Amino acid sequence: MSYKRSAVVLPVAGRRVLMQLRDQRRGILAPGCWGYFGGSLGEGESPRAAAARELYEEIGYAPKKLRRLGQERLRDFKGILVAAYCCELDVPPESLRLTEGMDFGLKSIVEVRAGKIYSERLKGYFPIVPSGFIERMFRAAVARCGSVD
């Protein structure tokens, strides 16, 4: 059986992760939810290359190094196969330019666990992508790419 493949990347600053509030467009995975930067793999593209490309396309950030966190099949999202990576965020978020999504910002595990995250830009709370994958990858990213504040 053929599954759709995608890659996500979690930029880490200290013990927080830069997350994206996804657009509210029909036809995309988890519209209007907080999640990670990423997207589908292009023809012949490796997951690592896709993660780096998507991060650059979505916020104009080219990390010095991507570290692999793992791969997981999200059965609650039509069996999509997601490869996850993390990187150190070594620039202030204010210097980045969001080109996809409604908002973005550094978030904590406490905010993720709450299930809803506040958007400064839209002045309201929005849910996180409804999957245990979000918290698992958040913890893995902070452990692998984070530092103590």
Condensed to tens digits (0 to 9), the pLDDT of residues 7-35 reads: 999 999 999 999 999 999 888 888 999 99
Instruction: Supply 66's token pair.
Output: 């991507």
Does residue 47 surpass a pLDDT of 80? yes
Angstrom CA distances, 97 to 27, 31, 91, 103, stand at 24, 20, 12, 10
Q: Is residue 14 a contact partner of residue 147, using CB atoms and an 8 Å limit? A: yes
pLDDT score recorded for residue 2: 47
CB 55 within 8 A of CB 62: yes
Going along the chain from its start, the domains and CATH numbers come out as 5-145 (3.90.79.10)
Closest CA to 124 of 16, 34, 1, 57: 34
